[in-house]
Each structure stands twice: as structure tokens, then as C-alpha cells.
Amino acid sequence: MTPKEFLGKLEIELKISKNSEYTLRNYIAYNQILFNFTKKQPEEISEDDVKKYIAEKLDKNSSSSVILFLSALKYAYSNILKNDITKNIKRPKREKNSNGFNKG
């Protein structure tokens, strides 16, 4: 399956599930970014590819950005390919603001 076909199927799944436009836009964008980064077909992308992207591109981003990225991949791969490539990747803890409450 090509990345374009994968993203088309993802868009359909997101719409059927009544996800918001925000979720639709972000989940498609994050999956597209990973395809561009790895230059691989969806079935070829591995957990190590995801970890490499996070280490190289998201290391300076907030925890919530990493969590959103992983959520986008988990949803896509679990629903389209029935294989969660993020299942063994630890999610970062949410950062706390100056009041002691979780951000995001």
C-alpha cells in the first residue's frame, strides 16, 4: 500500500469515527511526516523508525507533541494495518506548569 492510499484510508476511518477536523488534520499530517522522514511504505515502517524520528525531530518539542504524534500513529496503524507500531514505545510524562497542573 502506498502512503497516499494509506492516508486516504486513514481519512475515511477518522471521518467514520466522527473525529474533529483538528484530529483529522493532525493525524494525517503526522503520518505523512513520518512517511517523508523514513521514505518507506507504510508496511515497512517499524518501531525503530518511530523512535528515530522522535529522537531526531521531536526531542526539543513538548511532551504533548510527542504524545499526539504517537497517538496519530497508533490510531492509523491499529485501524489500517491492524498492527500498533507504537505499543512498546514509552509515552513521555506530561509537563507541569508553574501551578503544578498538567499542561495540555
pLDDT tens digits, one per residue of 23-46:
999 999 999 999 999 999 999 999
Q: What pTM value is reported for the model? A: 0.84
Q: What is the largest CA-CA distance in the chain?
A: 47
Give per-residue pLDDT as tens, 3-20.
999 999 999 999 999 999
| 103 pLDDT more than 60 | no
pLDDT of res. 100: 57
Give CATH superfamily name and number for 3-81: Tyrosine recombinase, N-terminal domain (1.10.150.130)
- Intra-chain end-to-end CA distance of the chain, in Å: 34
Q: Tell me if 103 sits within 8 A of 94, measured CB to CB.
A: yes
- Helix then strand then coil, % of the chain, to nearest 5: 60, 0, 35
CA atoms within 13 A on the CB side of 60: 2
The DSSP letter of residue 91 is P
| 97 pLDDT more than 90 | no
Distance CA 16, CA 87 (A): 24
Spatial neighbors of 52 by CB under 8 A, at least 6 apart, are none
